[in-house]
Amino acid sequence: MNTTPATSTVVADISMSPDDRAPGSVRLTQSITFVTDGIASAVSRAREAAGNGEISIMGGAETIDRALTAGVVDILRIHLSPVIMGEGTRLFDLVEGQIDLTQQDIVPTPNATHLTYGVSQAAAADIP
């Protein structure tokens, strides 16, 4: 695990169009790039900024589904809490194609089970 603090941050907002600008509440600096033209573009920019370092994609179900479908996820970490909500957005509902996962690690804790999978085959479709 890389413990070096990030020097650059790429923020993708998949709900905005490429013509939209960062909201006024977001303070952009030289180390923050705001991307609105899709998850593949955001990951590409993050990889450029990280050089040889790791990047992380964090977000809700739609963000993760788009990243998996676009084929830009190498490792999938799921933190599963023993709480039944009853409703909400289901993870993987928007994934297109088959994604093959290889179990790498399972860490049970009192508050969650932490699952790590290698993504061994990307989906063919590309969602912006």
Q: What angle do CA 93, 99, 100 make, to 5 degrees?
A: 135
Write out pLDDT tens, residues 60-97: 888 888 899 888 999 999 999 988 888 888 888 888 88
Instruction: Express each pLDDT in 27-63 by its tens digit.
Output: 555 566 777 788 888 888 888 888 888 888 888 888 8
Tokens 């790590």 locate to: 116
HEC-encoded secondary structure of the chain: CCCCCCCCEEEECCCCCCCCCCCCCCCCCCCEEEECCCHHHHHHHHHHHHCCCCCCCCCCHHHHHHHHHHCCCCEEEEEECCCCCCCCCCCCCCCCCCCEEEEEEEEECCCCEEEEEEEEECCCCCCC
Set out the domains of the chain in order of their start, with CATH numbers: 1-56 (no CATH), 58-128 (3.40.430.10)
Question: Rounded to whole angstroms, how far apart are CA atoms 13 and 39?
Answer: 8
103-117 mean pLDDT: 96
